Structure 1
Amino acid sequence: MNELVAVIILIVIFIIFNNLNTKIRRLEKEISDLNHKINKAPAQSEVIHQKISAEETIVPQQVQSHQTVPEAIKNGGENEEIPTPAQKDWLTPVFDFLKQNALTIIGIFTLVLGIGYFVKYAIDKNWIGKTARAGIGFCTGAGIIIIGHFLRKNYTAFASIITGGGITVLYFTATIAFREYHLFTQNTAFVTTALITAASIILSYYYKSEVLIIFSLIGGFSAPLMISTGQSNYPFLFIYLTLLNIGMLVVSFLQHWKSVGWAAYIFTTAYLFYWTNESPELLSITFYMISYVIFYLFALHDYIRKGILSTSDILILAFANFSSVLGLLYIFDTLGYEPPIIFPLIFAAVNSILLFREYGRKNSGAAYSVFAGLVTSLITIAVAIQFKTHLITSIWAIETTLLLFIWKKTGHKIFKTFFYILFPLVMIAQIVTWTEYLGATNFNIIFNPPFITSSFTIISIMINLYLLRNKGIDSQEKVNTFFEDLITVISYGVIYISFLLEITYHVSEMPWSAIVSIGLLFSIFYLFVLLLFRKPLSIRGDIQAILIYLFFVLITLNTSVSTLPVITAVLTKKLHLSFYVLHLLQWIPFIYVCSRIIPSSEFHKARISYWILSLALIISVSCELHHSYVLMVSNDIPHSYEASAHFNILYLPIIWTVLASIFIYMGLKKNIQEYNKVGFALIGLMVLKLYGYDVWQMDNISRISAFIALGIILLLSSFAFQRLKNIIRNMVDKKGKSEETTD
């Protein structure tokens, strides 16, 4: 019953298709007749017009010396810009092809699946044997190719996809006949797939179809996987791939098909990397070098003929150099051979020949910049490898810089896009590099593999930030994008973490309190350096304000929280007193930031900034004096508790009163109301603390001393404020009188 239904459906589909085909042919004939009539009418009118113009012509052609000149030429052509066609995105042709041929691709894919399901159904019903199944597959593939052959004149793209589908059927049939049915040996299967590949490449060249040769290459590179038995015969495999790549090179030279080279490069590199990882051996070096030469010639085809390098050529030059260096260095490193830097130096020498060629031609264009960038990058990789850096991290970091450099010189956004793709991989590789600190012992200071690798990454990052600073090639405008801001933040974060991990590793045997304090102290100085060089680093004003806020937070944490365990460690003789003196170095950047950086920044655009600055100063001064007092008068932990309580009751109100007076004085002098508010708020807090708690904890002598000292300070402060107010009032009066005199 199911078979009868299937036959009926096929008959109905055939009838519908036949009717549609008849209608389409009728429409094509009508359109052809209309086109013929339309083309004929202008020809007749043109003949009539020529006759009329010939009769009405009075002045001979020699006398007509006057010709119509465009207005722009009359004006000397000044201030006129010749419109240039907009450069299309490199993905536009791909998307256009997919939009126009999506149904065809889906259709041929569905047809292949339908044939496969039909054959499976026939097998399940025992209608055909193994040999007949393979024969049906080969005949079906050949039939589809023949159909594509007859359709190629009028429907080029459609015929190419149809032919590619037929080639796919042939590949899968050969694979199934070998792997599932065991109809022939592996050698026979390989020869069969090789013949299919050769025939498809010849058809591609004959039809001049770039789509078809992509199908051919995919099948050719997939053939070894289709007929694989699990036994690795890499020399035979790469001899086959080399012959396939040479055929690719010849076809791409004859037809100038860039996509062919890219497809071959991706598949060949994947095979080489798999072989390198699975079974690194010296023989693979030969195939790396052969592949390098093939793809280098492919990339330089236009350069040799016309002296130009397209975007595609530059990309494959960069990727071929770096992928070859990566694989070859991995082989040497795994096998323990020396010197590994020979390969990047050889490739640098090859590119140097082309660089000197450009230099001799006095040409400093895109090609010169590309070869200069490649030579510099390869030499840098050689230096990095000589210092035993992490291989992948160093190569990827240097490649990101090369991509940005080429983008800067050529203006092609594709290089910047690849930079965005590669940058996260560099960050992942850098994180893997940092893990080498875990469990490591006896690393030298600075001259150790993780930090040397980080150093090359840092150098690369700094160059990247410099190249990203000017967003346009000829434009002076700087447009900050989300991705570039994110990359900038991540870059400074990588620099920070690299130094922090190096410092932490070398102080890891110290008490935990010392490690935390050193980390905070380094963080403070790192932010200070960023703020100090904010103009050369082109740090925006809003980012500067955020850095200053973070700087004050770290200062407060380091003074109030992390220093207490340090004092305990000093009193228990776990740390020397000089460590606490080292901690006092934070006041150098603190004073500089407050006195020099903040006045020239956008920090005080918000009123809350005055409160944050004041709070950081109050907490830092109070805690620092507290810690110093405790260390001076205490010999052990119990005495430190008593000294701390005595300081909080007796000296802390005095300190707050002095600070409050300073804030009020600054507020009056600079006419900043927020400082006045801070000062009076601090006095109010001090009074509440003094009369609400401290006075009940003091003895009589301390109470008398505190009240006398605070009274004197308050009176002197009040007297100073009155004098300051009088001075300000006199200045205002004098200014008013001078203005009246002038009037």
Structure 2
Amino acid sequence: QPLPADVWRAEPSAKIPEQPAAPAVPRGPNFIERAISGARNWLFGGNTVLRVGVVLLFLGLAFLLRYATEGMVVPIELRYAGVAGCALALLGLGWWLRLRNSNYGLMLQGTGIAVLYLTVFAAMRLHPLLDPGAALGLLVAVTVFSAILAITQDALGLACAAALGGFAAPILTSTGAGNHVALFSYFALLNAGILAIAWFKAWRLLNLIGFVGTFGIGFAWGMRSYTPELLWSTEPFLILFFLMYLGIGLLFARRKLLEMRDAPDDDSRGALLRWSAAKGDYVDGSMLFGPPLVGFGLQFALVQHLEFAAAFSALALGIIYMGLARLLSGGRALLLAETCLALGVIFASLA
């Protein structure tokens, strides 16, 4: 007997079971939320009173130096000497506490170094107490001293606190009429310290602080004060900072590779690429892609009034990265070499 025509049709009263909906994937925090969360965790994790006190102490000394000439009869030299004495006292106290409570000690040492940066920079910029040569020597000494302290104690926090204080000093002491050559020379010293630390330590956070501080403040200065007449006093610093952070990214990869002991016995290209992909954290994307992209953007803004200058700049970047790819090929840094080759091709094509 043939089946009825509507045998596959559901009964009117029958309910077709619904498929369970896939659970919604929660949205992860964005960059701003992660930054706010990290700052909140740092501030309220551990001894909050100490951390708030350190921040307020640094800001208070900064504004004391800025407004030191208002309503005070104490000689200006004694005021600066008093602030420098506070910085040295913080350093000494932090060094004394390093074995009893390392977190307190390192925080106090970082604050002391930041206040020293602030004092020297203010004495050079706000008042004619130090000529540029003497200020340069003192800043070099502070930079070297902070790098030695950070490496000796294996203290990323100390290095980051000193770097943050160093980059905050010109902002807090700014009067709006500063010399950009002095500002960028000061940044070159700070970055020289970060470059020296990168030889010994693979500290991604410190490298990122230096990169954002240097190029961020440089971009802000360019938006406000740059004119084509300042090209030849600005261009050398942009090239120097690009080369510094190119070197810092390569040193980061070198240090991370030195820490890896499980390289494959098979040195073929395929095996090395698979191993490199699994160990990709030795490549710091911020330091690899940030300097060429941000640097070329700033370079274009500097030379856009010159015919073909941007094209030659892109060609130079392409040659640099192709040369790096050739230099790094054939070893454990094969993934880094492939990335440099891709950047070289992109900039050569852009030229």
Alignment gaps of 5+ in structure 2: 1-29, 258-275
Aligned AA (1:313) = D
Q: How big is the shift at 1:111?
A: 4.6
Distance 2:218 2:121 in 1: 23
Alignment partner of 1:259 is 2:205: yes
Q: Which has the higher helix share?
A: 1
Q: Which residue of 2 aligns with 1:142?
A: 88
After TM superposition, the score normalised by the length of structure 1 is 0.34
Q: 1:378 to 1:126 in 2, by over 3 A?
A: closer
CA distance in 1, matches of 2:172, 2:62: 17
Equivalent of 2:107, from 154, 161, 166? 161
Higher relative contact order (CA 8 A, sep 6+): 2
Paired residue secondary structure (1:310): helix
Counterpart check, 1:378 vs 2:347: yes
Q: In 2, distance between residues paired with 1:272 and 1:114?
A: 25
1:327: Cα distance to partner?
1.7
CA distance in structure 1 between the aligned counterparts of 2:214 and 2:176, rounded to whole angstroms: 19
Alpha-carbon distance in structure 1 between the residues aligned to 2:342 and 2:253: 17
Q: Residue 265 of structure 1: CA displacement?
A: 1.4
Q: CA deviation at 1:108?
A: 1.8
Give the greater-gyration-radius structure (CA): 1
Which residue does the alignment assign to 2:294? 323
Distance 2:326 2:308 in 1: 29
Following superposition, the deviation at residue 210 of structure 1 comes to 1.5
- Does residue 241 (structure 1) correspond to residue 183 (structure 2)? The answer is no
Give the equivalent residue in structure 2 for 1:340.
Answer: 310
Contact 1:178 1:227 in 2 (8 A): no
Kept in 2, the 8 Å contact 1:144–1:165? The answer is yes
Count of residues paired in the alignment: 290
Deviation of 1:328 after TM superposition, in Å, equals: 1.8
- Name the CA shift for 1:316/1:236 in 2 (closer, same or farther; >3 Å): same
Pairing 1:198-597 to 2, within 5 Å after superposition: 198-225=144-171, 233-274=179-220, 276-277=222-223, 278-280=226-228, 281-304=231-254, 306=257, 309-310=280-281, 313-334=284-305, 336-355=306-325, 366-367=335-336, 370-382=339-351
Aligned letter for 1:291? Answer: F
CA distance in 2, matches of 1:102, 1:227: 27
Hey, what does 1:29 align to over in structure 2? none
What residue in structure 2 maps to residue 480 of structure 1? none
Quote how far apart the aligned CAs of 1:179 are. Answer: 6.6
CA-atom RMSD, angstroms? 4.2
Write the distance in 2 (CA, Å) between the matches of 1:301 and 1:117.
37
Shift, 1:259, TM fit: 2.0
**Conserved in 1, the CA contact under 8 Å of 2:143 and 2:189?**
no
Change in 2 beyond 3 A, CA 1:224/1:381: same
Residues 70-102 of structure 1: CA distance to partner in whole angstroms, max 9, x if unpaired? xxxxxxxxxxxxxxxxxxx99799576552354
What amino acid is the match of 1:343?
S
Offset, 1:217: 2.0
Structure 1, residues 112-161: CA drift from partner, whole Å, max 9, x if none? 56789999xxx999795544433332222221211111111132222111
Local SS of the residue matching 2:304: helix
Q: CA deviation at 1:296?
A: 1.2
Q: Report the Cα offset of residue 197 of structure 1.
A: 3.9
Deviation per CA, 1:400-455: give whole Å up to 9, x if none: xxxxxxxxxxxxxxxxxxxxxxxxxxxxxxxxxxxxxxxxxxxxxxxxxxxxxxxx
Task: Give, in whole Å, the separation in 2 of the partners of 1:163 and 1:140.
Answer: 11
Alpha carbons of 1:136 and 1:156: their partners in 2 closer, same or farther (altered >3 Å)?
A: same
AA paired with 2:237? F
Q: Relative to 1, partners in 2 of residues 1:226 and 1:348: Cα closer, same or farther, differing over 3 Å? A: same
Identify the residue that residue 431 of structure 1 maps to in structure 2: none
Structure 1 gap ranges (5+): 1-88, 383-743
Asked if 1:184 is matched to 2:129, the reply is yes
Take 1:352 and 1:176, find their aligned partners in 2: how far apart are those partners? Answer: 43
How far apart are the structure 2 equivalents of 1:125 and 1:237?
Answer: 29
TM-score calculated relative to the size of structure 2: 0.65
Deviations 1:140-191 (A, max 9, x none): 22212111111111322221111222234444455666677x4724535565
> What amino acid maps onto 1:141 in structure 2?
A
